[in-house]
Chain A
């Protein structure tokens, strides 16, 4: 049985159709990258999978169960959301932001216990940001904020991580570090799903790539068969793309 399955999903904002009768199944384990131009419905698709948005037609199932019937707390224990890096209005300590990941496990009135604090420390450690623990979230860099949000998702205890453009707004070094973290998470048997604007990032870490165009799936398969110059050119409406071979792998280049 598929871990997450989207069955004949349609979604619209007002009159604008964003997702058109889409079917997609996500299996346990591995990394899936979602590629697509701006406005292709990537983020909407993620939110539908997370049960934050509800489709106007079709059903989203988590472990075979209609996601709308799963209580919010239960859902949050299975699925964790890593949103795009944002600037928070309030300067919570990094520790407190990560601790919020324990909310679905917290007791009456959201009380956190010693175990919650221990798992928070562990998640900070794992993302290599223990030294930031006491810093206000508003005063750390974009890369550090992204690591904080992933740490929060890890603290949540879910085995499925859904990341919305995790490399967006990060510098080159931080992008590479983030992709390394994703690889490490894959090795630890997390199931990851992320959207990206970089075909190369998809090729580097993903086991499966789904290309989304105008709310429908254009290609779905292994990186080798999907992230080809021809497909990328079609996806983004470019005239041509070429492949460059470096010592560390191939890079796509679209003039």
Chain B
């Protein structure tokens, strides 16, 4: 592990978070934010009560949860993307490879049609994501060929299946209320992130991130290919199951917070790899920090750049695609 890049990206992320707290339709001064927190935690009377109320609502109820939501989603997608890329020995793999995003989208759409409670919709979304990955892994098992190719094909089939099921739900949904809600949600949207949800999912996401990062050295060996990893004493099936479980868990939870946010899991690991090299002990944490920072910045843009708020999934795709075309040339060199 190289400590310097880690420290730099951590400092960068914290700076982005502080700046993002200031930014908004109602801009705040850094000095006022710091005196708010001082007064909130240590007491004092520098700021009048009404002002404190306003700031509390603005900072603690609106901006901070949203920044944390963006950070969690970015970190989760980027880390699971990097872990998948190492495991499948392919730098062009993304966390949605095993169909988790399609499954979670289907689950959420189904939830919006059948349930009233937002909590139930979130649960349905999470279960949908897990179901899609189980289908993918199950299909790979049916053919009794171990190895990553069958897993990838299983993921393609599972993704297509859940995309079709999603279309079915959309077709059956009430076109005046439910359909727009589903479509809007599928675009990926951080304005849905509320404090309760963010707090509820933060623990499992951090747990999943921890598991992936602790598997980093084994992932390094696994990225030499399954047979070599087995000859180097790795229990390939076991490590693969652990990584798939952790990556599925955290990517399904990002959909629970804010719908489908694409491209982060593909491009952030690339940038991180260009910066710090392929060693997963450094790559995974740096990807997490860069992913978090990146999504916070993109969210700031969606909030501020236009008169209306743009769904973040659209922006990550519009930024991600041209960027991906730029790095593709560089990525290809590695595996030709």
User: In the assembled complex, which residues on chain A have CB atoms less than 8 Å from the CB atom of B214?
Assistant: 109
Given contacts A52-B227, A81-B228, A89-B335, contact A72 B218 (CB under 8 A): no
Q: Are B217 and A111 in contact (CB under 8 A)?
A: yes
Given contacts A90-B91, A96-B220, contact A52 B231 (CB under 8 A): yes
User: In the assembled complex, which residues on chain B have CB atoms less than 8 Å from the CB atom of A104?
Assistant: 232-233
User: In the assembled complex, which residues on chain B have CB atoms less than 8 Å from the CB atom of A52?
Assistant: 227, 230-231
Say which one of B119-127, B272-280, B291-299, B317-325 lies at the interface with A.
Answer: B272-280
Q: Are B231 and A92 in contact (CB under 8 A)?
A: no
A56 beta carbon closer than 8 Å to chain B: no
Smallest CB gap from A75: residue in B: B233
A91 beta carbon closer than 8 Å to chain B: yes
Bound CA–CA A51/B235 (angstroms)? 12
A106 beta carbon closer than 8 Å to chain B: yes
Q: Are B217 and A110 in contact (CB under 8 A)?
A: yes
Bound CA–CA A111/B86 (angstroms)? 18
Interface residues of A in 93-110 (CB under 8 A from B): 93, 96-97, 100-101, 103-104, 106, 109-110
Bound CA–CA A88/B229 (angstroms)? 13
Chain B nearest CB from A77 CB (Å) reads 7
B5 beta carbon closer than 8 Å to chain A: no
Instruction: Select which of B91, B225, B231, B277 is within 8 A of A76 by beta carbon.
Output: B231
User: In the assembled complex, which residues on chain A have CB atoms less than 8 Å from the CB atom of B228?
Assistant: 81, 83
User: In the assembled complex, which residues on chain A have CB atoms less than 8 Å from the CB atom of B221?
Assistant: 100, 103, 110
Bound CA–CA A76/B225 (angstroms)? 16
Number of interface residues of B (CB under 8 A): 29
Bound CA–CA A89/B233 (angstroms)? 21
Bound CA–CA A73/B238 (angstroms)? 13
Smallest CB gap from A83: residue in B: B228
Q: Are B217 and A89 in contact (CB under 8 A)?
A: no
User: In the assembled complex, which residues on chain B have CB atoms less than 8 Å from the CB atom of A181?
Assistant: none
User: In the assembled complex, which residues on chain B have CB atoms less than 8 Å from the CB atom of A51?
Assistant: 230
Interface residues on A, range: 35 or more
Chain B nearest CB from A12 CB (Å) reads 13
Q: Are B220 and A92 in contact (CB under 8 A)?
A: yes
User: In the assembled complex, which residues on chain A have CB atoms less than 8 Å from the CB atom of B278?
Assistant: 90-92
B33 beta carbon closer than 8 Å to chain A: no
B57 beta carbon closer than 8 Å to chain A: no
Interface string of B76-95 (1 = CB under 8 A from A): 00000000001001110000
A50 beta carbon closer than 8 Å to chain B: yes
Chain B nearest CB from A104 CB (Å) reads 3
Bound CA–CA A51/B224 (angstroms)? 17
Bound CA–CA A100/B218 (angstroms)? 9
Bound CA–CA A51/B227 (angstroms)? 10
Given contacts A89-B91, A138-B334, contact A110 B218 (CB under 8 A): yes
Smallest CB gap from B236: residue in A: A72
A146 beta carbon closer than 8 Å to chain B: no
Chain A nearest CB from B203 CB (Å) reads 21
Q: Are B233 and A81 in contact (CB under 8 A)?
A: no
B223 beta carbon closer than 8 Å to chain A: yes
Bound CA–CA A92/B222 (angstroms)? 13
Instruction: Select which of B86, B227, B233 is within 8 A of A83 by beta carbon.
Output: B227
B10 beta carbon closer than 8 Å to chain A: no
Chain A nearest CB from B331 CB (Å) reads 9
Instruction: Select which of B90, B224, B234 is within 8 A of A72 by beta carbon.
Output: B234
Q: Are B336 and A76 in contact (CB under 8 A)?
A: no
Q: Are B232 and A103 in contact (CB under 8 A)?
A: yes
Interface residues of A in 42-101 (CB under 8 A from B): 47, 50-52, 72-77, 79-81, 83, 86-93, 96-97, 100-101
A-B pairs with lowest CB-CB distance, top 5: A76-B233, A110-B217, A104-B233, A81-B231, A90-B278
Instruction: List 7 interface pairs A-B (beta carbons < 8 Å), by A numbering.
Output: A89-B89, A90-B89, A93-B277, A101-B232, A106-B217, A110-B221, A111-B217
- B residues near A (Cβ < 8 Å) are 86, 89-91, 214-215, 217-218, 220-221, 223-225, 227-228, 230-235, 273, 277-279, 333-336
- What 14 additional pairs, Cβ within 8 angstroms, besides A81-B231, A83-B227, A90-B273? A76-B231, A81-B232, A83-B225, A89-B334, A90-B91, A90-B223, A92-B278, A96-B279, A100-B220, A100-B224, A101-B232, A103-B221, A110-B218, A156-B232
